[in-house]
Structure formats: structure tokens, C-alpha cells
Chains A and B, each alone.
Chain A
Amino acid sequence: MSKGKVKLIDNGLRHDGRKLDELRTIKMEVGILKSANGSALVEYGKTKVIAAVYGPREPQMKFMALPNRATIRCRYHMASFSTHERKSPAPTRREIELSKVIREALEPVILSELYPRTSIDIFIEVINADGGTRTASITAASLALADAGIPMKDLVASVAVGKVDGYLVLDIDEIEDMYGSADMPVAMAPALGRITLLQLNGVLTSEEFIQALNLAKAGIKQIYEIQKETLKRKYLTVKVED
């Protein structure tokens, strides 16, 4: 380890007490917004993301309509109070890129060809950022789409794997991302066994890459189960009034 750096892994435990292959505490809820057709709140530890889905509806601008399928629009935005220092609310280059990346992670599962000439709008707002906002956003957006009743092949779950102090760790947070040497977000449609997002920042050897991917798959499986449970819970907890 280089001089002046924080020791992030001690005795096989991470700085927040998690094991190497342990997720943060994950909380999910659907149907939190009244005006949206579908909505979801997802928390990965301190990271907190809200997603809202509108549509299929008439496109805001006629030229956007596609003759054979629905247009999918996605906006990822970080609230100005989500970071330590105030973030300007204007969309940054990073947010524009993430909007596109998130859209492309969700597009393959949405059965958009059922609704030609319409648009499906996904709005993602990061309430609190502590690493892994794009992965939490994808998880939240796919929940919100399912909550809106939009037909899709599968839910998409997402998690990041990082390399910290030479160890591969699951679901990295902001500190681990800052001092780690690699960050690899993965999104997957688990029932189909397809990967819809794979990014890698930093360097991994080919063996490490395969290990990291397997670690991510294991994490995604856990998140997928929570997603399914969350969607069912909305209906199972409705109380019958006497």
C-alpha cells in the first residue's frame, strides 16, 4: 500500500465492517409517488434514489415518436443537496452520459414494440449520493417500470464490484470508489441471464475480471430477490377492511 493512503481493508473486513462479498443494507419501496404511473425508492446503504415512470404516453415532441416502437427517455439527475458540496442543478456531462447508459441498460427488457408512437419517460433523482448511484438508479428504474405496469421481459438488477487494496469487493461505496483501483458496475436481467450494462474504470487482470463478474452476479441475484419481494409486498400488505 502506498504512503499516506487510508487502510480500507483490515482483517478481511471493510471500513464499514462489511465482509468482502457483502452488500450494503438494501431497502426498496414501490408506489411512493401519486402523480407518476410507477415509482420506486431504492437505498443502497446511504445512497438513496427515487425513480418515476410516466407512460406510455403521447410524446412531448412529435418528432420523437418512432413508427414501430415506444421511445424511451431517461433522465438521471443528482439533487443539489445529494453530495457533500452543493452540486449545481444544471445537468453535467456525467449526468447526461449516465442517463444514456441507464436507458441502454433498460431498453433491452422493455417490450417497447407493443406501443408504437408513444414515449415512456423515466426520471431518476439521486437524493443522497454515497457511491453506486448508477447501479441503484437502474434497480429503481426497473422497479418503477414494473410498478407502472409496462410489459418487460425481466427486471434489471445492478451492483458494482471494486478493487480495493488488492481485494475484489462487492457494492463499493464512495470512499472505496475514491481510494480503490477499479470500479466495475454490472447490470443484469437475471432470469434471462443477460448482462445489460458492463463498465470498468481502472485495471483488472483477466482472472480478476472473471472473479469480479461472478461476484457481481451473486450480488445481483440477492438484489433481484429483494426486487421481486418488494413488488409482491405492495399487494400482499393491503389490508381487508371489515
Chain B
Amino acid sequence: MSFTLFIQNREIVTPGQLLGEGKLTVATPVTIYSIDGKFFSAVVGLVNIENEKISVIPLEGYYYPKVGDVVIGVISSIGITSWEVDIRAPYPALLYASDFLNRPLNPGRDMISDYLNIGDVVLAKVEVVGRGRAPILTTKGKGFGKVSKGYLIEINPAKVPRVIGKKGSMLQLLIAECKCEITVTQNGRILVDNCPNKDLEEIVILAIRKIEREAHIPGLTDRVKEFIIKEKVRRGLLS
């Protein structure tokens, strides 16, 4: 292996910053570009070097749909056989009525607004992303479909991996400490549901906001754990 690095692990880089030279493996092709064997960052982000693989994790960003992503969408408009869903992507997604109802649709008899109306929230999966057309969603599968209760939080999509944590550690911590059902989706919408009480729900929301704010500072899991315990004591749930 012959390469040189000009940055350190966990350093904040800016667009145009020279990262390295030579035979490097790039793990994030969108945020790193190369000219003549030199690698530059394309965004403001954190550098991560692992097993000779270099990646830049953006600190700001928006959601760009990928096939297989689980997303929470809000119905933004109603067509004859499909809904248009806002998934916080540059393009509105489509959800076909026949897919949602799991049976063929009779446009003469069925009014699809009876099933989902504008403003309704759905948990869905991205099925198709094509260059020439809108992404298509599907609600087939367990747990997918209309969301009728719970607390919806929107965070910056670039911070989603932090809320989940390494191998899901952060999410497990939140669930274990607060006993809520938490659904984290790739487009930065988080659903908090079935909490034992209002206080725990509020703690989860505050903890997620804290994660979003301090996502780039190491030692996050420990700080969040401390924060939850402190909040619990303050609210009298723990002595």
C-alpha cells in the first residue's frame, strides 16, 4: 500500500481540503472526489479512517433516497391511483394505492382519500429509485403502513447514524433506559411511541435533541446515559 494522508482521524474538514494521495480506498464516493490520484473532501464533515478506507461523514446534509431505506413520509397530495409523499428528499415519492391496500384498486368505486389523506403519516420502504422518475414507496411488510399515534421528531438526516450509534448501541440505550418504541428512519424522522409515561417520552425527545446537537463530539453515548439518569432524578423517577 502506498499512500500518504494529510489529515488525522476524526478531524473536521472543509470542501477542497486535501485528504490524501496514492492508493486509497474511498468509502463515501459522494463526499470525497479525486483529481489525478489526489483525494479531496467535498463537504464539511468528519474524517474517518478505518482499515485503510477513508470516509468523510457530512455534518450537514439532506436526505437522498436509496433503495431499501425505511422512511417516514407525510402525504402531500392525492392522485387517482397513488399518493404523493413528502419524504424530505429533493423529489416527492409515490405510493401506489394498490400497494398500500394490497389489492387492485377500482378507481370508479374507491376514493383513495378515504384511506390516506393529506397530512397523514406513513412508515414505508423505498422500493425503486430511478433517474428519470420519482422514487416509489411500498408499505408491504410488518410494521409498515399508516402511523396513527406517537410523537414525531425531525432531525438533520446527516445525524441519523449518531442516533442509531455503532451497531445500534445508542438506540438500544435509549430503548433500555426509557422503555419506549423508537423508530429511526433514514430521512431523519423519528417516531417515539408507547412510552410508559409522559416524562420518559420527554426524556427521549430531549436526549435525541442532545445527540443531534453534539453529534460530532466523541464520548456521546456516555454523555447521553448520564443525561438520561440526571433527567430521571430531576423528574423523581429515580432516586
**A38 near B60 (CB under 8 angstroms)?**
yes
Which residue of A37, A116, A153 is within 8 Å of B62 (Cβ)?
Answer: A37
Say yes or no: B44 contacts A231, CB within 8 Å: yes
The answer, yes or no, to whether B131 is at the interface (CB within 8 Å) is yes
Binds A, one of B107-115, B160-168, B187-195, B208-216: B208-216
A149 touching B40, Cβ below 8 Å: no
Complex-state Cα separation, A152 to B14, whole angstroms = 10
Contact with A along B206-228 (1 / 0, CB 8 A): 00001001101100000100110
Contact of B61 (CB < 8 Å), options: A149, A231, A232? A149
- Chain A residues contacting B144 (CB-CB under 8 Å) are none
Q: Are B14 and A232 in contact (CB under 8 A)?
A: yes
Cβ-neighbour of B91 out of A67, A117, A152, A228 (below 8 A): A117
Contact with A along B1-27 (1 / 0, CB 8 A): 000000000001011111000000000
Q: B91: which A residues are within 8 A, CB to CB?
A: 58, 117-118
Check if B216 sits within 8 Å of A149, measured CB to CB.
Answer: no
Q: Any chain B CB within 8 A of the CB of A189?
A: yes
A58 and B92 in contact (CB under 8 A), knowing A155-B16, A191-B18, A192-B16? Answer: yes
- Given A111-B33, A192-B16, residue A146 in contact with residue B90 (CB < 8 A): no
Nearest CB in chain A: distance from B110 CB, A: 28
Instruction: Please tell me if the beta carbons of B44 and A191 are within 8 angstroms of each other in the complex.
Output: no
Q: Does B205 interact with chain A (Cβ within 8 Å)?
A: no
A147 within 8 Å of B (CB atoms)? yes
Quick one: closest A residue to B133, CB to CB? Answer: A117
Q: From the candidates A148, A154, A241, name the one contacting B16 in the complex (CB within 8 A).
A: A154
How far is A57 from B88 in the complex, measured between Cα atoms in Å? Answer: 9
Which residues of the partner chain A approach B227 to less than 8 Å between Cβ atoms? 241
List, in ascending order, chain B residues with CB within 8 A of A235's CB. Answer: 12, 44, 59, 216
Q: Is the interface of B mostly helix, strand, loop or mixed?
A: loop
Which A residues touch B33, using CB under 8 A?
A: 111, 151, 153
CA distance A116 to B91 in the complex (A): 10
Within 8 A of B (CB), among A104-158: 109, 111, 114-118, 146-155
A90 interface residue per 8 A CB criterion: no
Q: Contacts of A242 on B, CB cut-off 8 Å?
A: 226
Contacts of B44 in A (CB 8 A): 146-147, 149, 231-232, 235
CB proximity to A under 8 Å, residues B17-76: 17-18, 30-31, 33, 35, 40, 42-44, 58-62, 64
Residues of chain B within 8 A of A118, CB atoms compared? 90-91
A55 at the interface (CB under 8 A from B): yes
Most buried by B among A155, A191, A227: A191
Known contacts A151-B30, A191-B18, A231-B44; A115/B223 CB under 8 A: no
Distance between Cα atoms of A116 and B131 in the complex (Å): 7
Kindly identify, within residues 80 to 138 of chain B, every residue whose CB is under 8 Å from any CB belonging to chain A. 90-92, 131-132
User: Which residues in chain A, 54-97, are within 8 Å of chain B measured between CB atoms?
Assistant: 55-58, 67
The yes or no answer to A190 lying at the interface (CB within 8 A) is yes
Whether a CB of chain B sits under 8 angstroms from the CB of A1 is: no
- 8 example contacts (A-B, Cβ-Cβ < 8 A) are as follows A118-B91, A146-B43, A149-B62, A155-B14, A189-B16, A192-B35, A232-B44, A240-B217
Across chains A and B, which 6 residue pairs bring their CB atoms closest together, nearest first? A154-B16, A149-B60, A191-B16, A149-B61, A151-B42, A118-B90
